[in-house]
Structure 1
Amino acid sequence: MNKIISKMKRFLSIALLLIISISANAQDKKAKALLDDVTAKVKSYKNIAIDFKYTLNNAKENINQDSKGNVTIEGNKYVLNFMGVTKIYDGKKSYTIIPEDEEVTVSSVNDSDDKAITPAKMLTFFNSGYKYYMDIPQNVKGRKIQYIKLIPNNTKDQRKEILLGIDVQTKHIYNLIEVGKNGTKTTLTVNSFKTNQPLSKNQFTFVASKYPKYYINKLD
């Protein structure tokens, strides 16, 4: 009798593990499908203009900071305005304009380098280097936001996890929450997401004549 009970327990344990495994794989497939939809949507636009809010919080260190910014992206080119600094990338060189120091730093960027982080890649960064799982859905002002939990594959990564909030209807990223191993939490929330905007021909061109008194620091 004890042997029968023991075998039943073993069978139930194996069955439970299989159910959990099957459920997890199903969730992963749903997460992958949703992330693929987001990537396809981003790539379908000629350009994207985003206004965002950035929050940094660490309760242990009593840090709570809010900043706002905006970025315009077309292909691999972009103009980013954040914390008083403007960064322009024309597809070959990056120009970081710092009005407070009256300085422009110019550097080359290898866009084919997977390690090179650009605003364009921030919208599709999740395609490699992470395990992903479906997390909770939330209702935000009538919008259904589905969260996907991303766990970095690299154990040396200082981020414990990332929660990516996706608008289920539009397939646009609503927010991104990074939780650090040191307790720091940063949140980037998209306030507006505009696409296919009319842009000037010089939108992604650095015009030196606009900064006559600035020191031009060429790194290469």
Structure 2
Amino acid sequence: MKKIIKKLNMKKFAITALMVCIGINSLVAQSSSKAKTLLDEVYTKVKSYNNLYIDFKFELDNKTEGIHQETKGNVTIDGDKYVLNYLGATKIFDGHKIYTIIPDNEEVTIENKGADDEGTITPSKMLTFYKDGYNYKWKESKNIKGREIQFIELVPISANAEVTNLLLGIDTQTKHIYSLVENGKNGTATTITVNTMKTNQPLPKNTFVFNKDKYKKLGYYISE
């Protein structure tokens, strides 16, 4: 269990963009076209906002290992910048450096944004990550609590796959993402469900600023 949980660290918050191409025939091409149109509508809607606040539920399941884990989190996003509260820790990206604050350990790690982040769905990419690197397939539609949720399957293009596929649920009325499911090759399924989404909120100027002096005074160990 610990090995699986460790893979879900904050640096690799959601999912790596990988996988195998699917074959193209007339049915798949038509399905892919519908899926891409809806995804483009979602992208346009999300990009129109100045900022986003998302409260989400995170679930991890591995039936073989007998594991089920649920936790909640929230993230504030403004362009590339974000503040993520998840698994009892806070992660801040100010556009240049990533600050991970872990109160239980009284520790802060500071990292430069690196090349290894390019293949990771970071919070700033979590609503637009599907723009590149995937093939799409139109799936079923479900009525969930009075909302029509259209599901689209995403199969990463890279051959070095760690996941089998992703299933993206989209609210067809609001054009917002409702849920994201990753089905891993190791039998682990992770699900992110958006509970609340707020847009264009007034944000304090220091929202994405890390106060190093504050944590020094608290006696935190700071690793750079």
Distance verdict in 2 for CA 1:187–1:199, change over 3 Å: same
State the superposition RMSD in angstroms.
Answer: 1.7
Inter-partner Cα distance in structure 1 for 2:46 and 2:97: 23
Gapped runs of 5+ residues in structure 1? 1-19
Tell me the equivalent position of 2:139: 135
**How many residues are matched?**
199
Question: Are 1:203 and 2:207 matched, yes or no?
Answer: yes
Question: Are 1:73 and 2:51 matched, yes or no?
Answer: no
Give the aligned residue type for 1:50.
Answer: I
Tell me the equivalent position of 1:17: none
Give the aligned residue type for 2:25.
Answer: S
Inter-partner Cα distance in structure 2 for 1:155 and 1:107: 29
Inter-partner Cα distance in structure 1 for 2:67 and 2:184: 14
Gapped runs of 5+ residues in structure 2? 1-23
Tell me the equivalent position of 1:180: 184
Secondary structure of 2:222's partner?
A: strand
Tell me the equivalent position of 1:164: 168
Tell me the equivalent position of 2:17: none
Question: Are 1:51 and 2:19 matched, yes or no?
Answer: no
Question: Are 1:34 and 2:38 matched, yes or no?
Answer: yes
Inter-partner Cα distance in structure 2 for 1:151 and 1:58: 20
Q: Map 1:109-128; keep pairs closer than 5 Å.
A: 109-110=113-114, 114-115=118-119, 117-128=121-132
Displacement of 1:118 in angstroms is: 2.0
Inter-partner Cα distance in structure 2 for 1:182 and 1:108: 30
Secondary structure of 1:149's partner?
A: strand
Report the structure number with the largest CA radius of gyration.
1
Decide whether the 8 Å contact of 1:131 with 1:153 is kept in 2. Answer: yes
Give the aligned residue type for 1:191.
Answer: N
Give the aligned residue type for 1:89.
Answer: F
* Pick aligned residue for 1:88 from 81, 87, 92: 92
Higher relative contact order (CA 8 A, sep 6+): 2
Bigger shift: residues 22-31 or 196-205: 22-31
Displacement of 1:210 in angstroms is: 2.5
Question: Are 1:99 and 2:77 matched, yes or no?
Answer: no
* Pick aligned residue for 1:60 from 64, 69, 72: 64
Q: TM-score if structure 2 supplies the norm length?
A: 0.85
Tell me the equivalent position of 2:16: none
Displacement of 1:116 in angstroms is: 5.1
Give the aligned residue type for 1:137.
Answer: S
Secondary structure of 1:100's partner?
A: helix
Decide whether the 8 Å contact of 1:110 with 1:116 is kept in 2. Answer: no
Give the aligned residue type for 2:57.
Answer: K
Question: Are 1:214 and 2:212 matched, yes or no?
Answer: no
Q: TM-score if structure 1 supplies the norm length?
A: 0.86
Displacement of 1:110 in angstroms is: 4.8
Displacement of 1:29 in angstroms is: 0.7
Displacement of 1:42 in angstroms is: 1.1
Give the aligned residue type for 2:103.
Answer: P
Tell me the equivalent position of 2:156: 152
Inter-partner Cα distance in structure 2 for 1:69 and 1:202: 20
Inter-partner Cα distance in structure 2 for 1:80 and 1:114: 18
